[in-house]
Structure 1
Amino acid sequence: MAKLNDTIVAPATSIATQAIALIRISGDDAFVIINNLLKKKILTQKGVFVRKLYENNNLVDEVVLTTFVNPQSFTGENVVEIACHGGILNTNRIIRLILNLGARMAMKGEFSQRSFLNGKIDLIQAEGINDLIHATNDLALKVGIDNMSGINNKAIVELKANLIDIISRIQVSIDYPDYDDIEGSSVEDLIKLLTLIEQQVTKLLVRSKMANKSVEGIKTAIVGQTNVGKSSILNTLLNEDKAIVTDIPGTTRDIVEGQISLGNVTLNLVDTAGIRQTDDVVESLGIKKSKDLINKADLVIFVMTKNNLDSPENVEILKLLKNKSHILTVNKNELLTKEEIKLIVSKYPQAVFTSAINNEIDDLIFKIKEMYVNEEILASNELILININQIALIESVQEKIKQALQAIQNFMPIDIVNVDLYEAWNYLNELIGEQYDEEIIDNIFRKYCLGK
Structure 2
Amino acid sequence: MNNINQTIVAPTTNISTQAISLIRISGDDSFNIINKLLKKRITETKNVWVRKLYDKNELIDEVVLTSFVAPASFTGEHVVEIACHGGILNTQKIINLIIKNGARMANKGEFSQRAFLNNKIDLIQAEGINDLIFAKNELALKIGVNNMTGVHNQSIINLKTNLLDIISRIQVSIDYPDYDDVEGSSVEDLTTALRLINNEVTALLKRSKMAIKNANGIKTAIVGKTNVGKSSLLNALLNEDKAIVTDIHGTTRDIVTGEINLENISLNLIDTAGIRKTNDVVENLGIEKSFKMIEDAELILFVVNKENLNDSENKEIFLKIKNKKFILIFNKSELISNEEKIQLINEYENIVFTSAINNDIEMLLNMIERLYFNEEIMNNDSLILINLEQISLVEQIKNKLEQALNAIIFGVPIDIINVDLHQAWEFLNQLIGEQYEEEIIDNIFKKYCLGK
Q: Which residue of structure 2 lines up, in the alignment, with residue 219 of structure 1?
A: 219
Q: Which residue of structure 1 lines up, in the alignment, with residue 232 of structure 2?
A: 232
Q: Which residue of structure 2 lines up, in the alignment, with residue 177 of structure 1?
A: 177
For residues 268 and 418 of structure 2, the distance between their equivalents in structure 1, rounded to whole angstroms, comes to 44
Deviation of the 1:419 alpha carbon: 0.5
Q: Which deviates the most, 308-317 or 340-349?
A: 340-349
For residues 354 and 191 of structure 1, the distance between their equivalents in structure 2, rounded to whole angstroms, comes to 55
> Unaligned 5+ residue runs, structure 1?
none
Counterpart contact for 2:18–2:87, Cα < 8 Å:
yes
What SS does the corresponding residue of 1:314 show, helix, strand or coil? helix
Q: Which residue of structure 1 lines up, in the alignment, with residue 392 of structure 2?
A: 392
Q: Which residue of structure 1 lines up, in the alignment, with residue 289 of structure 2?
A: 289
Deviation of the 1:343 alpha carbon: 3.3
Q: Which residue of structure 1 lines up, in the alignment, with residue 104 of structure 2?
A: 104
For residues 398 and 417 of structure 2, the distance between their equivalents in structure 1, rounded to whole angstroms, comes to 14
Deviations 1:147-168 (A, max 9, x none): 0000000010000000000000
For residues 227 and 302 of structure 1, the distance between their equivalents in structure 2, rounded to whole angstroms, comes to 13
Deviation of the 1:297 alpha carbon: 0.4
Residues 9-28 of structure 1: pairs in structure 2 closer than 5 A: 9-28=9-28
Q: State the TM-score, normalized to the length of structure 2.
A: 0.99
Residues 261-300 of structure 1: pairs in structure 2 closer than 5 A: 261-300=261-300
Deviations 1:90-110 (A, max 9, x none): 011101111111110000000
Q: Which residue of structure 2 lines up, in the alignment, with residue 193 of structure 1?
A: 193
What SS does the corresponding residue of 1:60 show, helix, strand or coil? strand
What SS does the corresponding residue of 1:156 show, helix, strand or coil? helix
Deviation of the 1:349 alpha carbon: 3.9
What SS does the corresponding residue of 2:54 show, helix, strand or coil? strand
Residues 319-398 of structure 1: pairs in structure 2 closer than 5 A: 319-398=319-398
For residues 53 and 348 of structure 1, the distance between their equivalents in structure 2, rounded to whole angstroms, comes to 70
Deviations 1:199-219 (A, max 9, x none): 100000000000101011000
Counterpart contact for 2:326–2:350, Cα < 8 Å:
no
Q: Which residue of structure 2 lines up, in the alignment, with residue 133 of structure 1?
A: 133
**Identity in percent:** 66
For residues 359 and 2 of structure 1, the distance between their equivalents in structure 2, rounded to whole angstroms, comes to 51
Is 1:47–2:55 an aligned residue pair?
Answer: no
Q: Which residue of structure 1 lines up, in the alignment, with residue 446 of structure 2?
A: 446
For residues 350 and 98 of structure 1, the distance between their equivalents in structure 2, rounded to whole angstroms, comes to 60
For residues 310 and 222 of structure 1, the distance between their equivalents in structure 2, rounded to whole angstroms, comes to 18
What SS does the corresponding residue of 1:252 show, helix, strand or coil? coil
For residues 228 and 148 of structure 1, the distance between their equivalents in structure 2, rounded to whole angstroms, comes to 45
Q: CA RMSD in A?
A: 0.9
What SS does the corresponding residue of 1:25 show, helix, strand or coil? strand
For residues 55 and 351 of structure 2, the distance between their equivalents in structure 1, rounded to whole angstroms, comes to 70
Amino acid at match of 2:194: L
For residues 264 and 391 of structure 1, the distance between their equivalents in structure 2, rounded to whole angstroms, comes to 20
Counterpart contact for 1:214–1:373, Cα < 8 Å:
no
> Unaligned 5+ residue runs, structure 2?
none
Q: Which residue of structure 2 lines up, in the alignment, with residue 31 of structure 1?
A: 31
Deviations 1:70-105 (A, max 9, x none): 000000000000000011110111011111111100
Distance 1:129-1:350 versus aligned 2 partners, 3 A rule: closer
For residues 348 and 126 of structure 2, the distance between their equivalents in structure 1, rounded to whole angstroms, comes to 48
For residues 348 and 308 of structure 1, the distance between their equivalents in structure 2, rounded to whole angstroms, comes to 15
Q: Which residue of structure 2 lines up, in the alignment, with residue 419 of structure 1?
A: 419
Deviations 1:16-58 (A, max 9, x none): 0110000100000000000000000011111000000011111
Amino acid at match of 1:262: L
For residues 347 and 417 of structure 2, the distance between their equivalents in structure 1, rounded to whole angstroms, comes to 56
Deviations 1:138-183 (A, max 9, x none): 0110000000000000010000000000000000011111111111
Deviation of the 1:375 alpha carbon: 2.6
Amino acid at match of 1:100: K
Deviations 1:367-410 (A, max 9, x none): 11111121331211100000000000000000000000000000
Amino acid at match of 2:241: D
